[in-house]
Amino acid sequence: MIKLIAIDLDGTLLTDDHEIPKENIEAIHAAVKKGVKIVISTGRPMSGVRPIFEKLQLSEKEFVIINNGSSTYETSRWQLIDYFNLTDKDVTSLYQLVEKETDIQLTIFDEDGYYFVLAENPLPVVTFDANIVFVKPTPITLEQLLERHKINFQGMYLAEPAVLDNFQKKYEAELSSRYSTVRSQNYIFETLPKGATKASALMKLIEELNISKEEVMAIGDGNNDIEMLEMAGISVAMGNAGEAVKKAAKYQTDSNNNNGLAKAINKYILK
């Protein structure tokens, strides 16, 4: 019996227009009525999650795993209950890789939800990404960022896809030896604290809730969902997912633009 469902946002709960189909909302409410816990699990920061979660209008205490597993919140008071963080040394090291570059930038999310770009002027791709998560990127120097003494959850390198391809080819092996990394979008290469993934955050959460992996359903479409899909008792790849994601999942559903999430909940939980 499934007791918890972990749901990705972009490409899963949301359509390509970043809307939630009413069919998805109705299916989630039916699952909650059946006693299933809802966990939104996403690479987005809090600013890009809470407005969407609140559209679900869930009255029970649920959970969100954000920043690709770097931080977990319970939703009744939006309290941080678990996190991984980048040290000042980590942030400095990440920045030094692109300090003299003009076509790629490092951005940082902190505990207050600020979207910092360690450059004087954000690249267009940085501004584009910030708009998706309802924030404005704040230019800051490395020294100013470290002086804040805040928890920094993750670093993201943003650039046009071809530029990022070259960066990833050059530095991925080095970065992956020290951090959890994922190419979450064609314009984003993410570096997270070592061990931080959606799966690791979800494992820690279900242990607290006394839920086994076999009682978890996970659904997603992106490379950052693969570990989560591999750990869940029931794993479902969206129809719009890439081949690596489909290979990691036990089952497949329809696309995000055709109510694939609702269809999966109806098939594997409600029926």
Which residues are marked as active site?
8
Q: Which helix (H) or strand (E) holds 155?
A: strand 152-159
Are 124 and 105 spatial neighbours (Cβ–Cβ below 8 Å)? no
One-letter amino acid of 61: K
Instruction: Give dist(CA 223, CA 1) in Å, integer.
Output: 27
Q: What are the b/e assignments for 53-62, b being 16+ CB within 10 Å?
A: beebeeeeeb
Instruction: Give dist(CA 202, CA 116) in Å, integer.
Output: 26
The residue count of the chain comes to 271
DSSP-H helix ranges across 66-155:
88-96, 124-132, 142-147
Instruction: Give dist(CA 6, CA 28) in Å, integer.
Output: 11
What would the DSSP string read from start to end of 130-152?
HHHTT---EE--HHHHHHT---E
The residues that bridge with 116 in the sheet, in sequence order, are 108, 138
Look at residue 87 and give its three-state secondary structure: coil
Instruction: Give dist(CA 81, CA 202) in Å, integer.
Output: 12
